[in-house]
Amino acid sequence: MAWSVVMVSKISRSAVVLFLALVYFPFVLYHGAEAAIGNEVMKIGAIIDVNSRIGKEEKIGMEIAVQNFNKMSKTHKLSLSIQQPHRVTSVAEEMIKEKKVKVIIGMHTWQEAALVADVGNEAQVPVISFAAPAITPPLMQRRWPFLIQMAKNGSEEIQCIADIVRAYNWQRVVAIYEDEPYGGDSGKLELLSEALQNVSSEIEYRMVLPPFSSLSDPVRVVQEELDKLLQIQSRVFIVLQSSLEMVTHLFREAKPMGLVGRDSAWIIAESITNLLDSVNNSIISSMEGALGIKTNYSEIGRHQHFYSQFRNNFRREYPEEDNSVAGIYALRAYDSIGIVINAIQKMGSNITSTPKTLLEKMSSSNFFGLSGKIRFEEGRLSETPMLRIVNVVGKSYKEIDYWKTELGFSENPADILDKKEKNGSSTLSGPVTWPGNLQHRPPKGWEMPTNAKPLKIGVPGRTTFEKFVKVEYGETPNQNKYDGFCIQIFLEVLSLLEYHLPYELEPYNGTYDDLVYHVFDKKYDAVIGDITLLADRMQYVDFTVPFAESGLTMIVPAKPEASAWMFMKPFTMGMWVATGGILIYTMLVVWFLERQCNPEFNGPWKNQISTALCTWFRIAGEKIYSDLSRLVIVLWLFVVLILTSSYTASLSSMLTVQQLQPNVTDVEWLRKNNLKVGCDGDSFVRTYLNNVLRFKTDNILNVTSEYNYTGAFESNIISAAFLELPYEKVFLNKYCKGFIGTRPTTRFGGLGFIFQKGSPLARDFSKAILSLSENGKLKLLEDEWLTPMDECSTNITSNSTQTLSLQSFWVLYLISFVTSTICFLLSLNCSPISCQNHQHAYEGNVAPDDGSVWKKAVRLVGYFHIKRPRTTPTLADASDINADTTDVNDSSSRWEFMSSSDTLEPVESSPPAEIEML
């Protein structure tokens, strides 16, 4: 019985187990198959330096992306394998062969990325690189078809740096970069040099630092390199490429050396600025006043969940780090995993796709990630990034402006996106805190003079013309005295500068070309004097705007001008021809008017011409019958009066002032006759005469002083002297009576001051010189130093007298011509009775004092307007007229009655007309 109970119990357990197996087997089988499918994991390899801050951020960012995806996805899983970038080729091969990774992500240098891309091409494994070449190699897409670049090539960052340099007119900069482990700078230096040339700037010095990982004593290495910077003038430093550790040492050592002080400017690249959120306060404070370029990305909205995850994970894994804020590197690493996830989602359940299909799906990504828009064209990010300009202040930094290619600077990112054209702002919008707490103006970007180290200025010690620069030597250099036109301009410029400029002058007894070269080799910081702007000199130094014009002139002895035709010179030839023409025309008109009434103008042509010519020389005694003739003659006499007065004044001026003419006027004649010429041997003129004007070297004599020119001319040592235009003015102002100068046939750049290449002082001095010119102070200095002596001043003023031309008298001639023409036309309609009436008047039949003024006026009107028939007056008419006048015989008439015929023919009587001549 007991045995049977036991048997029943065993059978019951077996039945239960069998029942459960039959019930749960399909369920287990189904979910087992599902698990087998879901456990298909895509392996991702990452090659990053987890010992650096950038690598730490990227590691946490990728891990968060993988973790989030694995939690959400039930069909696909990701596996992340991270290794250090030591011998990246071997690491990549190991990941592909042993760990079977399908995608490789990482690499911060282009050299590493290119090596891994070669391995990926061979194994057909997509490679996502965080680095890009500064200069894109040709056929890059064909060479590395499995390479996807998550970074831009840096050309936008370089252009932004160049725009900042242009905004503050910095002409020379120092480029600082840390050499890469594989050597080189990825082409960024070449891009920077080209961009700076486009904004009229250049790299003065390249400071190359070895890789930080290879240094056993980085402090000593940095100090040695910074000592070299003390030998150059530029104080604009661009940290183009460096690790955070190297930059930390760089600023800490540069500050006590005075390189992070007033008038210095530091610009740090994106790779450093992007880490400012993650470094401690002591490192940031050492960079105070620096400008940084930072990639713009959003930190609000849906990204807050990622930032919270990042802080927690970062603090847990790296508790030694002071700052746990995620930067752009963490965001970019997160998005790189997002590219793989996006491709997996596009492929769906077809997880056995070929590597090319995976690459195609990854390259076609188009979504908004944490770091911005993710879209690729030819394996590169297609979106142009917007950059932020930040200014390090205290233990933090502030954002100043936004910048984007071809749009420029703007305070508001929304504004910059709406713009179609460049902003054109000359400076950054926001106020900048500069190194050394410089206020009210941007730094000069140059080593400015101090009381301990003043500006060393070279001055020409031996000048041919002391009016420009004169040095009176004392017992010691400090007792030297400097004066002259150029020195006074320099002192006036100093008074207009917005800052104090300590300086010391030092005379230099050498050629002007040597003096210019000593500015180039940094013996002098500047040269103040009469230095001519020339093209070859501008290759070595910077000139200010000219304060005096310059050109080559020729000085030759002069002799008084004597000519038998001097009397012709007051009038131009055109004036003489016009005067003769109007005289003949007026004479013909008067002859025509008088010929109808005046018997003296009748007879043979010979007599008429003689009478017409003689009339102009004895008008007072001639009998003029026509009133129109009187009008023409009176106007002509007015013309003659004006011409005579003008002619007399001009001729008197010419005879009073000594007129000089040069003995030599042609350079070719001097060269052809092998004559000697003189010039200032210390200037460039000697070389110009030899190389350009082709004078023989033996025929060019050096004249060391302005006082030696006259002796050389008098001794016939030289036949001509070649001087620059300002010197010619000074010479002729003193020796105006014996010499004459030709007009300058060759123009030069003018006289100016020179400074070292890139010096901002050249621009400041130029601005001050223009101010002196605009406010008239420069003209006053010219009058004070370069004005001629009294006798030469009078001579120069008088020599400016010019001959009189028709342009000054054409209106007068026109009035005379028009008046004569009108009188001629009126005479064609006049009746001969007017001539007869004038004949009566000339016989003395008019009493000038008879009657009242009213009667005289009435008679005058009647004389001009009463029309009478064409008759010849009779004796009866004459008696009637005589009867109406009183006391005719008592007054002696000046007029004679002349008849056109010897006999009077009888005509019908007509009423007598009373005519009285007023």
Taking only the tens place, the pLDDT of each residue in 496-553 is 998 899 999 999 998 899 999 999 999 999 999 999 999 899 989 999 999 998 888 8
Residue 487 has what pLDDT? 95
Confidence band of 486 (pLDDT split at 50, 70, 90): very high
pLDDT tens sequence across 127-164: 999 988 877 777 788 888 899 988 887 888 899 999 99
- Is the predicted pLDDT of residue 80 greater than 50, yes or no? yes
Residue 913 has pLDDT above 50, yes or no: no
Point out the least confidently predicted range of 167-181, 625-639, 720-734: 625-639
CATH superfamily assigned to domain 551-561+659-747: Periplasmic binding protein-like II (3.40.190.10)
Grade residue 592 by pLDDT with cuts at 50, 70 and 90.
confident
d(CA 54, CA 52) in angstroms, rounded, equals 5
Q: What is the pLDDT of residue 791?
A: 53
Can you give the pTM of this predicted structure? 0.68
What average pLDDT score do residues 392-396 get? 83
CA distance 132 to 7: 79
The helix (run of H) or strand (run of E) holding residue 173 is: strand 172-178
User: What is the rounded distance in angstroms from the CA atom of residue 61 to the CA atom of residue 67?
Assistant: 10
What per-residue confidence (pLDDT) applies to 747? 86
Question: What residue type is assigned to position 481 of the chain?
Answer: K
Q: What is the pLDDT of residue 746?
A: 81
- Judged against a pLDDT cut of 60, whether residue 731 lies above it is answered with yes
Burial pattern 238-260, b for ≥16 Cβ within 10 A else e, equals bbbbbbbbbbbbbbbbbbeeebb
In contact, 265 and 235? CB cutoff 8 Å: yes
Whether the predicted pLDDT of 679 surpasses 50 = yes
Task: Evaluate whether 134 touches 191 at the Cβ level (below 8 Å).
Answer: yes
CATH 3.40.190.10, domain 449-549+749-788, yes or no: yes
Of 188-192, 278-282, 729-733, 762-766, the least confident:
278-282
Among 133-137, 165-169, 694-698, 763-767, the range scoring the smallest mean pLDDT is: 133-137
- 373-382, 537-546, 582-591, 632-641: which has the highest mean pLDDT? 537-546
User: CB of 404 within 8 A of CB of 384?
Assistant: yes
Grade residue 629 by pLDDT with cuts at 50, 70 and 90.
confident
Is 598 a residue whose pLDDT tops 50?
A: yes
Give pLDDT, residue 221: 92
Amino acid at 818: V
The mean per-residue pLDDT over the stretch 855-877 comes to 43
Does residue 362 carry a pLDDT above 70?
A: yes
Which of 153-157, 336-340, 370-374 has the highest average model confidence (pLDDT)? Answer: 336-340
Average pLDDT of 467-492?
Answer: 91
Q: Show contacts of 889-894: CB within 8 Å, 24+ apart.
A: 891/844, 891/847, 892/844, 893/842, 893/843, 893/844, 893/845, 894/842, 894/844
Strands 396-404 and 202-209: unpaired
DSSP assignment, residue 902?
A: S
152: left (phi over 0), alpha (psi -120 to 50) or beta: beta
| pLDDT for residue 815 is more than 70 | yes
**Whole-angstrom distance, CA of residue 600 vs CA of residue 366:** 116
Asked if the model's pLDDT at residue 286 lies above 80, the reply is yes
pLDDT value, residue 173: 93
User: CA nearest 187: which of 110, 112, 108?
Assistant: 110
pLDDT tens-digit profile of 19-75? 444 444 444 433 343 444 445 788 999 999 898 888 999 999 999 999 999 988 888
Highest mean pLDDT among 473-477, 768-772, 811-815: 768-772
Residue 67 has a pLDDT of 92
The two structure tokens encoding residue 86: 């030591």
Distance from C-alpha of 60 to C-alpha of 46, rounded to nearest angstrom: 12
pLDDT of residue 837: 52
41-151+329-370 has which fold? Rossmann fold (3.40.50)
What distance in Å separates the CA atoms of residue 301 and residue 298, rounded to the nearest whole number? 8
Instruction: Give the full edge-to-edge strand order of the sheet including 526-532.
Output: 503-508, 455-460, 526-532, 751-756, 541-543
Q: Which amino acid is at 814?
A: L
Task: Please say whether the beta carbons of 208 and 171 come within 8 A.
Answer: no
Pure H helices in 715-865: 725-734, 760-774, 777-786, 790-798, 810-827, 833-842, 853-865
Write the pLDDT tens digit of every residue in 256-266.
888 988 889 99
**Integer Cα distance of 493 and 768 in angstroms:** 5
CATH of span 155-313+384-437 = 3.40.50.2300
The predicted structure's pLDDT at residue 636: 82
Give the residue-averaged pLDDT of 837-850: 47
Residue 585: the pLDDT is 85
pLDDT at position 561, please? 57
Whether the pLDDT of residue 351 is over 90: the answer is no
% of the chain beyond a pLDDT of 70: 75
pLDDT number for residue 622? 53
Sign (positive/negative) of CA torsion 848, 854, 855, 857? Answer: positive
Check pLDDT > 90 for residue 661: no
Token pair of 395, please?
């233990």
pLDDT of residue 497: 92
Strand partners, 402: 388, 410
How far is 681 from 689, CA to CA, in rounded Å? 11
Q: What does pLDDT average to over the chain?
A: 78
CA distances in angstroms from 505 to 154, 300, 468, 477, listed in the order given: 46, 61, 15, 9
Is the pLDDT reported for residue 557 higher than 90? no
